[in-house]
Amino acid sequence: MAHKIVVGLDGQSSGAKALDYAQNMAKQMGVCELLVVYVIEWSPFSFQTAEENAERHKRREEEITVAKERVVEPALKQLKDVGLTATGVVRHGHVADALDAIAKEHQADQIVVGRSTEGGMTARIFGSSTANLVMNASVPVTVIA
């Protein structure tokens, strides 16, 4: 039976730790596909001028391209270099919601993420993306410290 693991990257060392952990898990499982995911935080409720709205689509496409080049493609190369099957996904949205949605779409068995580095008042009021994911995910979540 093939397993699927969603790996949430953040472009930081915590995402690299999550990727390394998922890589080791996949090797032990045998037949396993990794979905390497980078979510660009985005809210449809931000206030913008008419000019900003006109440029919005172009900016979103540029953000996706940069995220693929800087974060996702190096991770895919690392996994493929050790013989693992991996696919990359970049999406705009709220991190916890997007990771869970991707896990559902691809019928993943698990989500692996690094511990959030969010802090301060925002994390106290709204909670971190990692905490929200752990509390609401439809599949098990492994958090790497």
139 has a pLDDT exceeding 90:
yes
- Length of the chain in terms of residues written: 145
Domain boundaries, the chain: 3-144
126-131: average pLDDT? 72
Angle at 133 between CA 75 and CA 8, to 5 degrees: 0
122 has a pLDDT exceeding 70:
no
Contact assessment for residue 5 and residue 112, using Cβ atoms and an 8 Å cutoff: yes
Cα 39 to Cα 18: distance, rounded to the nearest angstrom: 15
Give the 3-state secondary structure of residue 86. Answer: strand
Structure confidence by residue, pLDDT tens digits, 12-60: 888 999 999 999 999 999 899 999 999 998 765 566 677 777 777 788 8
pTM, 2 dp: 0.85
Contact assessment for residue 76 and residue 86, using Cβ atoms and an 8 Å cutoff: yes
CA atoms within 13 A on the CB side of 7: 31
Domain 3-144 belongs in CATH node 3.40.50.620 = yes
